[in-house]
A and B are shown apart, each in its own frame.
Chain A
Amino acid sequence: MIKPLTIAGREIRSRLFLGTGKFSNSTVMARALEASGAEIVTVALRRVEFDNPQDDIIAHIDQKKYLLLPNTSGARDAEEAVRIARLARAASGWNWLKLEVTPEPNYLLPDPVETLKAAEILIKEGFIVLPYINADPVLAKRLQEAGCAAVMPLGSPIGSGRGIKTADQIRIIIAQATVPVVVDAGLGLPSHICQAFELGADAVLLNTAVAAAQDPVQMARSFKLAVESSLAGLESGPMSEGEAASASSPLTGFLR
């Protein structure tokens, strides 16, 4: 039985968080959410496009089943992130937030200084802050000391699907963590999920890996299975690694 994850005192039943971006349409998105088993789903905040009313996705997300995690995407510094966060709280009616501050568009790498600055302000204002960060153990520690509810280090750049290129740093983040560690960004395959959990991550956050698959619904299901498989395997007490072979068949009665 996989233990539920607790973030900011709230029990989260799925360790897979799913982004809602880049899906071809709302129906596919809703089916992929269902297939993934995710409870936490990320959303963004934008100006309403009145000429394109079909983009009202919130209507397709059953808020009894899913917990919306608004992000601060588009923020280039702490000031913008704080402004977006306050609007997100007004729009969503609650205070959970994926804090992301990404000043440059090519790699969308998070700005550590501005992220910490924004986190400190938002925590004082009562937000539950889950910051998206580079896999920097010093920053992760500063953020958890500041009162963040989790830290979300990247495996590789957002939407790149390159998997976990930051394993050694994530291992240190996990070793010193007093809050849940969510590997966010860059995950592309079910095997990347397994790697994240084997490193000791508490949860993973995906989006493009599902949305950009040829069959997003089946891919969502495959990630759900990868999470269940990884966690069940780890809870089963994996064998120890050895240098030499250890025969599986009896070493007596050979038919030579």
Chain B
Amino acid sequence: MIKVNGEEHPWRQGLNIAQLLKEKNYVYHAIIVRINEKFVPPEEYDVSVIKDGDNVEAIHLITGG
């Protein structure tokens, strides 16, 4: 099990960020991803393997004043 934006998500061996975002129906612009508070560059999304127990955060720009 991993955490994705604070919620539990099933984990499997070899899961990478690109796959995870696809599973989550990623449609966002300007997203950034951190694993265990460490920033992952977009070009590494399909090679960055998520480990069991990792805390994954996807952050983006949204409306605000």
Report how many residues on chain B are interfacial, defined by Cβ distance under 8 Å.
23
B59 interfacial by beta-carbon distance below 8 Å: yes
A158 to B57, CA, bound (A): 29
In the bound complex, residues from chain B placing their C-beta under 8 Å from that of A44 are 61-65
CB-CB under 8 A for A53 and B63, given A47-B6, A90-B32, A91-B32: no
Contact residue range for chain A? 35 or more
Q: Which residues of A in the span 168-193 have a Cβ within 8 Å of any Cβ on B? A: none
Contact A208 B60 (CB under 8 A): no
A58 to B31, CA, bound (A): 10
Q: Is the CB of B65 within 8 A of A208?
A: yes
Of B26, B30, B39, the most chain A CB neighbours within 10 A belong to B30
A22 touches B25 (CB 8 A): no
B28 touches which of A53, A70, A93 (Cβ 8 Å):
A53
Structural contact, A19 and B65, CB atoms closer than 8 A: yes
Interface centre among B6, B24, B27, B65 (most CB of A within 10 A): B65
- Closest partner residue, chain B, to A206 (CB atom): B65
Chain A positions 40 through 72: 1 when the CB is less than 8 Å from some CB of chain B, otherwise 0: 001111111110010111110000000010110
- B1-39 CB contact bits vs A (8 Å, 1 = yes)? 000111000000000000000001111111110100001
CB-CB contacts below 8 Å: B34-65 with A: 34, 39, 57-65
Q: Are A56 and B27 in contact (CB under 8 A)?
A: yes
Residues in chain A within 8 A of chain B (CB atoms): 19-23, 29, 42-50, 53, 55-59, 68, 70-71, 73, 87-88, 90-93, 158-159, 205, 207-208
